[in-house]
Amino acid sequence: MVERETALDLLRTMWRIRCFEERVATLHHRLQVHGLVHLSIGSEGVAAGVCRRLRDDDAVYSGHRAHGHALAKGAPMDRVMAELMGRSAGLCQGLGGSMHLVDTQHGLMGATGVVGGNLPMAAGDALAARLRGEDRVTVVFFGDGAVQAGHFNETVNLAALWELPLIFVCENNGMAEFTPRSAHTKVARVIDVVAPYDFERRLIEGSDVGAVWTAFGEYLEQARSGTGPFLLECSTHRRSGHYEGDQQSYRDALADAEWAQLDPIARLEARGKDEGWLDDEAAAGLTAHADAEVDAAVRFARDSPPLSADDAAALVYAT
């Protein structure tokens, strides 16, 4: 199983994401983060378990629910917050916002707002790694809703045909926007959708960050040696709505007890206490530390002005 140091790092990462996103929700209500914002509260285990395995030169392609992936991959929290607040110090100088986080220094290569639009891009990136003979790996995150879109199948066929070093990571939260998976397809498990292509695939519980870490690690090792593709399907639970402001009339609230069962942070903390590597004080310390980092990130963002119109216009074409 996961070593203590690793477990602590995963827990710290998940708290950073959780505290960041809870603050984003607050800031969004106060109109300081504007536009469409999608939170991943409840799914931090996947972001942490996957991205903490990766090197800076491994590429991650994410989508509209990307905060966790960005932070876990190493994007500085203050610049992510500045991006969400539309400031020039943001990762993308405030031109992308929540749905389009990019941090090339840390291998966060793209996040697209169109469901599944990142899938073929990630395959192209993996092809680039193959052409150069690099041992870096490409990971693409997507939700179960993307699986019913044509580009999913086009990409899977090509990745399988060309045996690209690409790891598909599906965060299956059972909901595509506002409707359950059963309204989208007869095929409940995403791993069954790629069955015709017969590459390695596995379904795990995304709220068990240790399981994510271990399963992803096995695929990563193989992908590094140049084989692929792989599909890791992580069942997750979307604690928050599809987007901030979503009335969520489509579902019943889960009881707190059920929620705790599905919460990756609560699960790992319980295990840490069982195994004796975490006590209440240490857990509270992790939360406080994450909160303090968020405070600093918000201050950093507020100190940064928005980009000037001229500077923005200069970015339309590369010169």
The residue with tokens 């790996």 is 137
CB of 105 to another protein, least distance (A): 8
Q: Identity (one letter) of the amino acid at 74?
A: G
CB of 182 to another protein, least distance (A): 9
Q: Identity (one letter) of the amino acid at 109?
A: M
In 3D space, the residue among 294, 296, 160, 182 whose CA is nearest the CA of residue 231 turns out to be 160
Cis peptide before 264 (omega within 30 of 0): no
Binding site for another protein (CB under 8 A): 59, 61, 90-97, 100, 102-104, 109-110, 112, 114, 117, 119-131, 138, 148-158, 160-161, 184-187, 192-198, 307, 312, 315-319
Q: Which is nearer to another protein, 8 or 160 (CB)?
A: 160
235 forms beta bridges with 172, 205
CB of 164 to another protein, least distance (A): 9
> Cα–Cα distance between 17 and 23 in angstroms, integer?
10
CB of 97 to another protein, least distance (A): 8
CB of 255 to another protein, least distance (A): 30
Residue 97 phi, psi dihedral angles, 5° rounding: 80, -170
Q: Which is nearer to another protein, 195 or 288 (CB)?
A: 195
Neighbours of 72 (CB within 10 A): 26
Residue 138 phi, psi dihedral angles, 5° rounding: -110, 135
Contact in structure between 154 and 147 (CB atoms under 8 Å): no
Burial degree of 310 (CB within 10 A; 0-12, 13-18, 19+): exposed
CA distances from 250 to 178, 179, 246, 247, 256 (A): 7, 7, 10, 8, 18
Q: Which is nearer to another protein, 118 or 207 (CB)?
A: 118
CB of 249 to another protein, least distance (A): 23
Q: Which is nearer to another protein, 50 or 59 (CB)?
A: 59
Q: Which is nearer to another protein, 75 or 220 (CB)?
A: 75
> Cα–Cα distance between 221 and 218 in angstroms, integer?
5
Q: Which is nearer to another protein, 26 or 104 (CB)?
A: 104
> Cα–Cα distance between 165 and 196 in angstroms, integer?
19
Q: Which is nearer to another protein, 145 or 241 (CB)?
A: 145
Q: Which is nearer to another protein, 217 or 306 (CB)?
A: 306
